[in-house]
Structure 1
Amino acid sequence: MAIIKIKNTDRQLEVEDNSNILRNSLRYDGDVPNRCGGGYCGTCLVKIEDGSENLDNIKPAEKKKVGEDLLEEGYRLACQTFVVKDEITLSWDKEMTKKVQRQKVKKVST
Structure 2
Amino acid sequence: MSRIYDCADETARKDGIADAASAVRRGELVVLPTDTVYGIGADAFSPRAVADLLAAKGRGREMPPPVLVGSTRAAMALVDDLGRFGRDLMDEFWPGPLTLVCAATPSLSWDL
Select the structure that is richer in helix. 2
Structure holding more strand per residue: 1
| TM-score, with structure 2 as normaliser | 0.29
Greater RCO, CA 8 A, separation 6+: 1
Output the TM-score relative to the length of structure 1: 0.30
